[in-house]
Amino acid sequence: MAKRPTMTTSAGAPIPDNQNSLSAGERGPLLMQDYQLIEKLSHQNRERIPERAVHAKGWGALGKLVITGDISKYTIAKCLQPGAETPMISRFSTVAGEAGAADAERDVRGFSLKFYTQEGNWDLVGNNTPVFFVRDPVKFPDFIHTQKRHPKTNMRSPTAMWDFWSLSPESLHQVTILMSDRGCPQTPMQMNGYGSHTYSLWNDKGERFWVKFHFKTEQGHAYYTNAEAANLIGKTRESYQEALFGSIEQGKFPKWKMQIQIMPEAEAEKTSYNPFDITKVWPHAEYPCIDIGYFELNKNAENYFAEIENAAYSPSNVVPGISYSPDKMLQARIFSYADAHRHRLGTHYENIPVNRPKSPVNHYHRDGQMNTYGGIKTGNPDVYYEPNSFDGPVEEPRAKEPPLKISGDAARYNHREGNDDFVQVTALFNLFDAGEKQRLASNIAEAMAGIPVEIEERQCKLFDQVHADYGSSVRAAIAKLKASS
Ligand code: NDP
């Protein structure tokens, strides 16, 4: 048998005995000089890092993005050129639950993708829904507080959720998807992913196009009813991890078709809705989905913590040929996601192997905790500022995107004025068959159980404005539930 490796301290010294601590006499006490024991205990104390404030519970895997279509007229992005194959890692998640939450809970699912391109990492940090609850980021922390635990009871509060939603009509679109069948997918493989925000692509002529990214499941959609999910959670809290991890271990690699919708830059002025409003979709009839390729997940992480928990996705990570849009929620996430990782993982989180680009990294940031980057590797110690005369890394003009055209005065614009919060929800409601409409109403009634009647009614009045049947079916489901309890 091959000789087994020697166990060592973190400083590399051989450990002579990992079964018995060092004591003064057989019965103790222990000695301070047993630094191996002290190192072991102190590491255990530091095993947990700050949990993500949102999207704490997650599941992920590695794979590849393959481009089969030709969208070179829209973008210079190397990873989007015909035939490009790009290694990637994904992380799916629920939003509200903590790291130990059950997987099969009704919640929006995070759908985060990191592509290790030839020109840096491109992160798409989306959801399994094409829209979001709020359109102005100033409302985001308040919204999340309503989804988390009440400060006194330490329990989640349906009153807070419905109070906030009923006072925020822009949430109706996302609330309707959340309470519909797609609000509780059976596994991460059986849901779509959406970039959700409007981003932009730009080409070698300096033209910008607005773009939406879509990832359509090739496994088919499948959902749990509330009763099925409750039953499953009673048996296992890890159903998503079991399904995704198990499928990949068995060589069944899940796939998603990648599609884009494209809007010429000037058309953004003409649409009847604000195309940068994340509570809206772009209707397919106006902006058809174009097939451009697929991604496949084909490898489980070797170490969940190192690769999935440490994976840090941020919409700030774009690469030449791909950029942002004026979407206010996107603009705020460009700051807040990278900042969350600096807090959670440390200043140099992009140097952790799972986050480290596979293309060269040459920046002039210096020092800081856990800096293992160690400066620019030119062999010349004088290269530590810019500009310099010592052949240090320089700018790449090809990476300069076209100017973002902006008009308007700086002001706090009322995001509700002139914004229709109902038409697209009506279109969605009309897509549901009778069975899904009935499940929608009963899911909402169950989620509202115990909240004050005036909040219940305020929310039902919003449903009335989507469709008379929506309001009336929810009222009937509430009455039925109250009568049976
Ligand atoms: P379409 O009829 O062309 O598109 C409807 C889309 O709705 C489908 O392509 C599908 O999106 C999605 N869908 C179908 N059944 C369900 C369901 N049971 N639950 C949730 N989504 C479903 O019309 P529009 O493009 O005009 O959109 C109408 C409404 O559909 C929108 O207001 C929006 O609520 C919803 N929707 C639209 C999307 C878009 O990007 N336009 C994307 C997703 C939903 P998919 O192909 O992505 O599965």
Question: Which has more pLDDT, 70 or 405?
Answer: 70
Paired tokens of 322: 């791909």
The CATH number assigned to the domain with range 58-133+186-354 reads 2.40.180.10
Paired tokens of 191: 């849901």
Which positions are catalytic?
55, 127
pLDDT of 277 higher than 90: yes
How far, in Å, CA of 449 to CA of 451, rounded? Answer: 6
How far, in Å, CA of 116 to CA of 64, rounded? Answer: 9
* DSSP letter for each residue of 244-289: HHHHHHTT---EEEEEEEEEEGGGGGTSSS-TT-TT-PPPTTTS--
Q: What is the pLDDT of residue 138?
A: 97
Residue 480 has a CB neighbour count (10 Å cut-off) of 13
Average pLDDT estimate for 289-305: 98
Residue type, 287: Y
How far, in Å, CA of 295 to CA of 60, rounded? Answer: 13
Q: What is the pLDDT of residue 406?
A: 85
Q: What is the pLDDT of residue 378?
A: 86
Among positive and negative, which fits the CA dihedral 318, 258, 255, 57? positive
SS3 307: helix
State the alpha helices, DSSP H only, in 127-166. Answer: 140-147, 158-166
Report CA-CA distances (Å) from 327 to 146, 266, 279, 417.
23, 16, 10, 17
Q: Is the CB of 221 under 6 A from ligand 1?
A: no
Report the residue among 281, 423, 433 best suited for mutation to probe ligand 1: largest number of ligand atoms under 8 A from its CB.
281
The confidence band for 373, taking pLDDT boundaries of 50, 70 and 90, is: confident
pLDDT of 1 higher than 80: no
Region of 206 (left: φ > 0; alpha: ψ -120 to 50; beta: rest) is left
- Segment 420-459, tens digit of pLDDT: 999 999 999 999 999 999 999 999 999 999 999 999 999 9
Rg (CA), the chain: 25
Residue 205 has a CB neighbour count (10 Å cut-off) of 8
Residue type, 271: T
- Segment 347-368, tens digit of pLDDT: 999 999 999 999 999 999 999 9
| CA angle 152–158–160, rounded 5-degree value | 65
Q: Report the separation in Å between the CA atom of 109 and the middle of ligand 1, taken as the mean of its atom positions.
A: 17
**Interacting residues of 193 by C-beta distance below 8 A, sequence separation 6+:** 111, 113, 126, 127, 128, 214, 215, 256
Domain ranges of the chain: 58-133+186-354, 423-484
Report the residue among 127, 194, 289, 428 best suited for mutation to probe ligand 1: largest number of ligand atoms under 8 A from its CB.
428
Q: Is the CB of 424 under 6 A from ligand 1?
A: yes
Beta bridge partners of 125: 112
| CA angle 129–310–340, rounded 5-degree value | 65
Q: Is the CB of 192 under 6 A from ligand 1?
A: yes
How far, in Å, CA of 41 to CA of 220, rounded? Answer: 47
How far, in Å, CA of 166 to CA of 447, rounded? Answer: 13
Residue in the structure block whose two tokens are 């990214």: 213
pLDDT of 102 higher than 80: yes
Q: What is the pLDDT of residue 416?
A: 87
Q: Report the separation in Å between the CA atom of 428 and the middle of ligand 1, taken as the mean of its atom positions.
A: 7
The confidence band for 6, taking pLDDT boundaries of 50, 70 and 90, is: very high
Report CA-CA distances (Å) from 100 to 48, 214, 254.
13, 29, 25
Atom of ligand 1 nearest to the CA of 423: 32
How far, in Å, CA of 345 to CA of 150, rounded? Answer: 27
Q: Is the CB of 439 under 6 A from ligand 1?
A: no
How far, in Å, CA of 346 to CA of 367, rounded? Answer: 12
Q: Report the separation in Å between the CA atom of 284 and the middle of ligand 1, taken as the mean of its atom positions.
A: 8
